[in-house]
Structure 1
């Protein structure tokens, strides 16, 4: 496993690394990551604390930082990750979900502990790095990888088909008020048990997950459309532009207007040919 801070050499040109990369921005960091989706379009994600980004091995992507950037990169060699993932999932058949910025308390706690306990990265021992890589690999496998259509979450949460049902309902009603009671009814559970099992599966409360999905969709609309901000706010479930602006700024560090400008500037940067970075 390799631990490093984002440097100038990591920015601008396309990276296609042989490792699983976990990007953990610190409180003052502003990071944009762009990758090519299966449909052929480029997608840019804005990653700022408390969010993190998980970049699968061999995925062409580029990084751009903003003012005050300070991002930790946790890199795990692909063979090590695959072996751990197979053991954690009990399957050789798994694929990564589409990369995106996510709230992940475990990854952030690990990164904070590394920074706090080991300010000098050169002093990290091989045994410590291997243990850390195993922990993170198993966590990523269980939370960012799909393995079989009916696999239940190993944490004792909702079964995969029920999670898909909940995710679909949220996506289809993102512009409306969504109550826990509605989600619980979709999977035939009481609101109490649903909320508990949902958090076991996602490490987020239903309210926080819905809020982050609203923010995520708002980012996509701001970056890809010319819709007025008041319309974007309504499309993602906010009743007033003022409320939307306040919540958006709290979780991204930008107002919607500034984010739209920054995202389009980042997307307009040319992407070069893959460079062949082989760090492990």
Structure 2
């Protein structure tokens, strides 16, 4: 039997599952997300050999499928599960893991890099070491909702840009710390807000860089704040999450360009930081209730 150091290490960024020859049916490869990865699989009955993930892994069974009987081995301990649709498993990075799935089905895999996880953790709690606890066959509605939101964002080709996924990832890490760690983190109760000067700096940065795919870290760095604290303080100050504010700015800019310029819709798409026509149309319809073409025609 191989020693722990000899076991294969599986990297989510390589887009393959250790037991499946097929590539995922959906992947976040083109998302530009920092520290979080998403794959969706339709898989046959299969057995995965003992391996160690390089990322913290969340597996979510298909929402509309059927219960699937499975067997899991974590550091030598065997756990049997009759996984219901939408239930999750959580496998921290670096532990010995293998599985046997007795039936075909579908599942999503979310991977969080340990570096991203530790960054968010150390920004939000005051501990030097965090021990994560594996779980199998857990019903967790928040994780389920985040998985569905990430999947929908990939299918829609990221209509709000990369920040939407990164914001969800930050919230997901905080949730995992609360629910699946030996520590019960005491998050700050600080109800502070950003000053008007700080808000204006962020607003100006967004307006000056709106044609770019702005990352959450870009906005936070304007104020030299961590992503976690920036998200919390920005929402407390404006009532909007950073990705919601960014989307609203893009729509406002797009409406102005549609009304006062002769730029094509494709040119406007690029001018507001989005990379394809369909994503722009989808986001515009969500906020305005009509397509860019119809909006321009009604002026």
- Normalized against structure 1, the TM-score is what? 0.46
- Higher relative CO (Cα under 8 Å, sequence separation at least 6) belongs to 1
When you count helix as a share of all residues, which structure comes out higher? 1
- Normalized against structure 2, the TM-score is what? 0.43
